Structure 1
Amino acid sequence: MNSILIKRRNRNVIKIEEIKKIEIVLKKKLPNELIQFLMKYSDCTLFECFYQKEGIYTMPGYIVGVSDKNPNIFDLIEGNIFYNDIDWLPFACDYGGWVFNVSLSEKTYGEVWINKFDSGEKNPFEFVSSSLEEFINGLKRVEDI
């Protein structure tokens, strides 16, 4: 998996104890690559990363964390539980607030999807990539496009 350019790191990186808490709350095992990603990059602001593939153009600007500086992973999980949807684990948000998720459902386990919650579509989830690694490897800086 490629490294990500980080613009700013906050202090509260997700720790293994918090990963275990997430797995208990969701009653699901998280993909190893997602665990490693969150433990390295959580609570970061990205350096203008841009993702483009088959008509999807977006800038995931914030990696979720456990602080109040960036989107809080526990708040996002609580929102998913409220809607009775525990098949997604949010890991990043774009600058407009759309949420990137790794699928935890058996059929699409490990795939990356974006939740365009305010798009007005009946199903706001859109497929992005087959894996977190493919997604990360596809990120580019705007000036490199």
Structure 2
Amino acid sequence: MISFILTEKNIKSEDLVVFEKKFKLNLPETYKMHMLKFNGGAPDKDYFKGVNIAHFNPIKNGDDTLEDQIESLKDLLPLGYLSFAYDPGGNQICMDLNEGKDYGKVYYLPMDMGDIEPEFLSNSFEDFLSGLSEDDDY
């Protein structure tokens, strides 16, 4: 079982509806359920395939909300990608929310200079969460 620390004030289903409408997004159900339980925060198991996960962005409340991320990264991320977490160096963990075969897949986006090339991590948010571990050996 995974747990989170440093989470923000809980959100309600209505907050998710407003968020999805505002940004014209269709969030995966597993992600929405997770955010209703943990609104952002740092996971106790903080590695996925060698990538250190520092923090998940909250939907609202606190610093670095998803709305802040969408605004600050809109010209950097591939179209239809939602950055929901980041590593200690500021690299992004994103979901592809474009309709089609890649919907819901999770990617690591190194934010170094030049073109950003997404690196595949998992087929779904659920697989991503269940694959988190306490160390970087995989």
TM exceeds 0.5?
A: yes
1:45 equivalenced with 2:45 (yes/no): no
Q: Which residue of 2 aligns with 1:62?
A: 55
Kindly report which structure 2 residues correspond to 1:1-145, keeping only aligned pairs within 5 A, or say none.
Answer: 3-6=1-4, 8-52=5-49, 57-65=50-58, 66-69=60-63, 71-82=64-75, 86-107=79-100, 108-118=102-112, 120-142=113-135
Identity of aligned residues (%): 24
Please list every run of at least 4 consecutive aligned residues from structure 1 whose deviation after the TM superposition is greater than 4 angstroms: 82-86
Shift of 1:11: 3.6
CA-to-partner distance for each residue in 1:91-127, whole Å, 9 max, x for gaps?
Answer: 2111111111111112310100122122x34233221
Contact 2:47 2:136 in 1 (8 A): no
5+ residue gaps, structure 2: none
Cα distance in structure 2, aligned partners of 1:47 and 1:92: 14
Aligned 8 A contact 2:8 2:39 in 1: no
Aligned-partner SS, 2:54: strand
How many corresponding residue pairs?
136
More strand by share: 1
Matched position secondary structure for 1:28: coil
TM-score by length of 1: 0.79
